[in-house]
Amino acid sequence: MLVIIEDIVDSGRTMDYLLRALWARQPASLRICTLLSKPSRRVIEVPLDYIGFDIPDEFVLGYGLDFDEKYRNLPFIGIMKA
Protein backbone atom coordinates (compact mmCIF):
# COMPACT_ATOMS: atom_id res chain seq x y z
CA MET A 1 0.00 0.00 0.00
CA LEU A 2 1.24 3.45 -0.91
CA VAL A 3 0.02 6.41 1.16
CA ILE A 4 0.56 9.98 -0.01
CA ILE A 5 0.70 12.45 2.88
CA GLU A 6 -0.11 15.99 1.75
CA ASP A 7 -0.36 19.25 3.67
CA ILE A 8 -3.13 20.83 1.58
CA VAL A 9 -5.18 19.88 -1.49
CA ASP A 10 -6.53 22.94 -3.26
CA SER A 11 -7.35 22.77 -6.99
CA GLY A 12 -6.45 19.09 -7.24
CA ARG A 13 -4.15 19.62 -10.24
CA THR A 14 -0.91 18.64 -8.51
CA MET A 15 -2.47 15.63 -6.85
CA ASP A 16 -4.04 14.51 -10.15
CA TYR A 17 -0.63 14.67 -11.86
CA LEU A 18 0.99 12.75 -9.02
CA LEU A 19 -1.73 10.09 -9.01
CA ARG A 20 -1.40 9.52 -12.74
CA ALA A 21 2.36 9.10 -12.42
CA LEU A 22 2.06 6.71 -9.49
CA TRP A 23 -0.80 4.61 -10.92
CA ALA A 24 1.33 4.12 -14.06
CA ARG A 25 3.75 2.21 -11.83
CA GLN A 26 0.91 -0.13 -10.78
CA PRO A 27 1.01 -0.02 -6.97
CA ALA A 28 -1.10 -2.62 -5.17
CA SER A 29 -3.11 0.19 -3.61
CA LEU A 30 -2.88 3.94 -3.22
CA ARG A 31 -4.41 6.21 -0.58
CA ILE A 32 -4.27 9.97 -0.05
CA CYS A 33 -4.13 11.64 3.34
CA THR A 34 -4.31 15.43 3.59
CA LEU A 35 -4.32 17.69 6.61
CA LEU A 36 -6.31 20.40 4.83
CA SER A 37 -8.75 20.26 1.93
CA LYS A 38 -10.33 23.21 0.08
CA PRO A 39 -13.26 21.59 -1.73
CA SER A 40 -14.61 24.93 -3.01
CA ARG A 41 -11.38 25.44 -5.02
CA ARG A 42 -11.34 21.98 -6.58
CA VAL A 43 -10.89 22.07 -10.36
CA ILE A 44 -10.07 18.36 -10.66
CA GLU A 45 -11.77 15.96 -8.28
CA VAL A 46 -9.29 13.63 -6.64
CA PRO A 47 -10.12 10.80 -4.24
CA LEU A 48 -9.09 11.90 -0.75
CA ASP A 49 -9.20 8.95 1.65
CA TYR A 50 -8.25 10.72 4.86
CA ILE A 51 -8.98 14.42 5.49
CA GLY A 52 -7.99 16.29 8.62
CA PHE A 53 -10.09 19.40 7.98
CA ASP A 54 -12.17 20.88 5.17
CA ILE A 55 -11.41 24.60 5.12
CA PRO A 56 -12.94 27.60 3.33
CA ASP A 57 -11.30 29.41 0.43
CA GLU A 58 -8.84 31.39 2.56
CA PHE A 59 -5.06 31.67 2.37
CA VAL A 60 -3.71 29.72 5.33
CA LEU A 61 -0.25 29.66 6.84
CA GLY A 62 1.66 28.25 9.76
CA TYR A 63 2.48 24.70 10.81
CA GLY A 64 4.66 24.25 7.72
CA LEU A 65 2.59 26.39 5.33
CA ASP A 66 4.30 29.64 4.38
CA PHE A 67 3.91 32.96 2.63
CA ASP A 68 7.06 34.16 0.89
CA GLU A 69 9.18 31.86 3.09
CA LYS A 70 7.68 33.39 6.26
CA TYR A 71 5.32 32.15 8.98
CA ARG A 72 6.09 28.49 8.30
CA ASN A 73 7.22 27.93 11.87
CA LEU A 74 4.00 29.08 13.56
CA PRO A 75 2.72 26.38 15.93
CA PHE A 76 -0.81 26.75 14.53
CA ILE A 77 -2.62 27.23 11.20
CA GLY A 78 -4.06 30.70 10.68
CA ILE A 79 -5.77 32.71 7.98
CA MET A 80 -3.71 35.39 6.25
CA LYS A 81 -5.45 38.75 6.41
CA ALA A 82 -4.53 41.63 4.09
Supply the pLDDT for residue 82.
77
Find the catalytic residue in 7, 10, 49, 54.
Answer: 10
- Whether 14 and 38 have beta carbons less than 8 Å apart is answered as no
The Cα–Cα gap between 21 and 51 comes to: 22
Domains and CATH numbers, the chain: 2-79 (3.40.50.2020)
Average pLDDT over residues 51-72: 94
Supply the pLDDT for residue 80.
92
Supply the pLDDT for residue 73.
95
Supply the pLDDT for residue 20.
97
The yes-or-no answer on residue 54 being catalytic is no
Tell me the helices (H) and strands (E) count for the chain, helix number first: 1, 5
What's the pLDDT tens digit per position in 4-61? 999 999 999 999 999 999 999 999 999 999 999 999 999 999 999 999 999 999 999 9
